[in-house]
Structure 1
Amino acid sequence: MKIAILGAGALGCAIGSTLTQGGHETWLIDRSPAHVEAMRRDGLQVDDADGSHRVKVHAATQATQVGAVDLVVVLVKSFHTDSAMRGALDLIGPDTLVLSLQNGLGHEDVLADIVGRERVLAGKTYVGGVLRGPGHIQRGVSGKLTYIGELDGQLTLRVKAIAEAFNASGLATGVSDNIIGTMWDKLLINVATGALTGVTRLTYGQLYEEPVLKATALAAVAEAMRVAQAAGIDLSMTDAEQAWNLAAEGLSPAFKTSMLQSLEKGSVTEIDFINGAVVRWGERLGVPTPVNSTLVACIKGVERAMTDRQREGATA
């Protein structure tokens, strides 16, 4: 299978390198010239449970260098989804499928507007990755599940074929007939910790030591669960504590959420597609979401302060 990873950051490289080692022609597409050049020159350095090794990968900064593929796996930051996909239409052939494994909700609608809803698949992954430097990642794949499915819940041959290819490569993947519910399950986990660590700048170990922060996390998750219930979403979780516990499962105390990593790198976050999605759905359904609204406002404030400092530094 010829696969393009659109957005070869930490997670994209973790998944892409695994599929490469599984024998698929996998292209890692990223807008960072330094990152792509390092991968082209030296291969991708992967640190994982088996030690540190280099994986020879295909890497590109432009879709024109790749051409049409069988599958596009979208892993760009949420706010880049529209521009990234519109700039990568050279990847789309007559039978190309587009699979979003991004955090949060709403990417499928963005992608469908560009490539057609009939091409779009949805999914969620618990694979982990940390970008250590250009061409260098820490990969967490072992024991981490990925779920994919059709937007209408049908168990089609095409989605089963992708799952089989992923599984054969060592990327444990299940097919879901309730992928929207699965996406909400993952959203609850992101709601539990992402914004709180972004505001406080705490690692997981620090976050989980503070009872007052746990109480806030549980309140935010409970709001999201009420929104999901009003929307008729079939969740696998029955209480907020499950999301809180699952969020930290298998992670070290030093782990930092992707939201915190974004802020530390000076980048805006995906808050609009996580807690912000809960707020939007709540407004649509008439379900109050004061805790999530407050977390969104706090992160927006942190982002504003960060961009103001960047502007001041640029003009100094």
Structure 2
Amino acid sequence: MRNIYLCGLGALGTIYAKALAPFGLRVVADAARAARYRAEGVRVNGEEVALSYLTPGENAPPADLVIVAVKWQNLPEAIESLRPFVGPETVILSLMNGIESEIVLGRAFGMEKLLYAFVVEVDAVRQGQEVRYSKAGTIVFGEARNETISPRVAAVKELFTKGGIACRVPQDMLRELWWKFMLNVGVNQLSAVLRMSYGAFAGETLRGLVREACGEVVSIAQAKGIGLTGADVEAIFPILARLAPEQKTSMLQDVEAGRQTENGMLGESVLAMGQELGIPTPVNEMLVRLVKVLDEKL
């Protein structure tokens, strides 16, 4: 893959932009953002990262791979920025939280272009143009099912391996995607409302709240034919324990930075699906209301 375009220089986007810059990655950004990045620089763990930028008005070949790493509320703008660079053979990979970004991108560009993806075990924090992390995480990605590896999945995996990016291709990608969605619903909302870093999730009371919030996602997933169980909820806690205890979820980082949260694609999505399926979601209803209080303060 030669033409690699990335949209979104948040914590995740910056980490993977650095890894793939030697292989020709270009960051898609509007002229004002690109100028700011060039003027202020981009740093990862104190190291300046040299990146190439591409604005929507420039001529460039269609992308072989597009990586989308923007916030939920910025996805419509990102789609329009990327539109000139998406061709018939472009593969699109979203690293965004939730289970809806692939659907939105599929409506814009065609579901046949999408691979499913998420990142797990990353503890990156962004402050200004500086990103710091102790764990860069693993990209879990693939077709909806991967009993055999498709050529495009193999090509993306080869690229990630060259860039030193840890990655994994599971057999049942949709189940894995729902598992990460469940983790984000249970952990991100609570971390934002309680202003708690990862270390706080060692406490049994907080873990009990995570179990309750995630349990509602399990019920919805099972109603949709996704085989999540209580054991999948328990699998969250060893992962949190391996992250730097002082580091914070992306939602808590948004709250502390005075940015709108992404809860529309997390807790609010749970409420909508619960209402549609007739499944009660009282814990997430309360969490959504509390997060809205934080958003309304901005």
Distance 1:150 1:64, change over 3 A: farther
3-state SS of paired residue (2:231): coil
Distance 1:141 1:207, change over 3 A: closer
Spell out the pairing of 1:45-124 with structure 2 (5 A cutoff): 45-47=43-45, 52-60=46-54, 62-65=55-58, 67=60, 68-124=62-118
Distance 1:45 1:87, change over 3 A: closer
Counterpart among 126, 134, 140 of residue 131 in structure 1: 126
Structure 1 residue 245, shift from structure 2 partner = 3.5
User: What residue is the counterpart of 1:311 in the other structure?
Assistant: none
C-alpha contact (below 8 Å) 2:28/2:81 kept by paired residues: no
The answer to whether 1:272 aligns with 2:264 is yes
User: What residue is the counterpart of 1:283 in the other structure?
Assistant: 275
3-state SS of paired residue (1:103): coil
C-alpha contact (below 8 Å) 2:6/2:13 kept by paired residues: yes
User: What residue is the counterpart of 2:249 in the other structure?
Assistant: 257
C-alpha contact (below 8 Å) 1:72/1:99 kept by paired residues: yes
User: What residue is the counterpart of 1:196 in the other structure?
Assistant: 190
User: What residue is the counterpart of 2:218 in the other structure?
Assistant: 225
State the alpha-carbon separation in 1 of the partners of residues 230 and 3 from structure 2. 36
Spell out the pairing of 1:125-274 with structure 2 (5 A cutoff): 125-126=119-120, 127-134=122-129, 136-141=130-135, 144-151=137-144, 155-209=149-203, 211-235=204-228, 238-246=231-239, 248-274=240-266
State the alpha-carbon separation in 2 of the partners of residues 286 and 66 from structure 1. 50
State the alpha-carbon separation in 2 of the partners of residues 32 and 234 from structure 1. 45
3-state SS of paired residue (1:137): strand
State the alpha-carbon separation in 1 of the partners of residues 247 and 261 from structure 2. 17
Structure 1 residue 4, shift from structure 2 partner = 1.2
State the alpha-carbon separation in 2 of the partners of residues 147 and 237 from structure 1. 21
Distance 1:236 1:226, change over 3 A: closer
| TM-superposition CA deviations, 1:35-94 (whole Å, max 9, x none) | x446435753221xxxx433321134x333473321111111112212321232112123
Instruction: State the superposition RMSD in angstroms.
Output: 2.3
Distance 1:218 1:31, change over 3 A: farther
C-alpha contact (below 8 Å) 2:123/2:247 kept by paired residues: no
User: What residue is the counterpart of 2:11 in the other structure?
Assistant: 10
Structure 1 residue 208, shift from structure 2 partner = 3.6
Instruction: State the one-letter code of the partner of 1:284.
Output: E
Instruction: State the one-letter code of the partner of 1:96.
Output: T
| TM-superposition CA deviations, 1:77-124 (whole Å, max 9, x none) | 112212321232112123111111111111111011111111111101
Counterpart among 41, 44, 48 of residue 42 in structure 2: 44
Instruction: State the one-letter code of the partner of 1:234.
Output: G
Instruction: State the one-letter code of the partner of 1:109.
Output: I
| TM-superposition CA deviations, 1:142-170 (whole Å, max 9, x none) | 5x221111246573111111011111210
3-state SS of paired residue (1:69): coil
More strand by share: 1
Matched residues, number: 294
| TM-superposition CA deviations, 1:240-267 (whole Å, max 9, x none) | 2222332x13222211110011111111
Distance 1:175 1:278, change over 3 A: same
Instruction: State the one-letter code of the partner of 1:129.
Output: A
Distance 1:287 1:244, change over 3 A: farther
- Compute the TM-score of the two structures, normalised by the length of structure 1: 0.84
Instruction: State the one-letter code of the partner of 1:12.
Output: G
C-alpha contact (below 8 Å) 1:9/1:30 kept by paired residues: no
- Report percent identity of matched pairs: 30
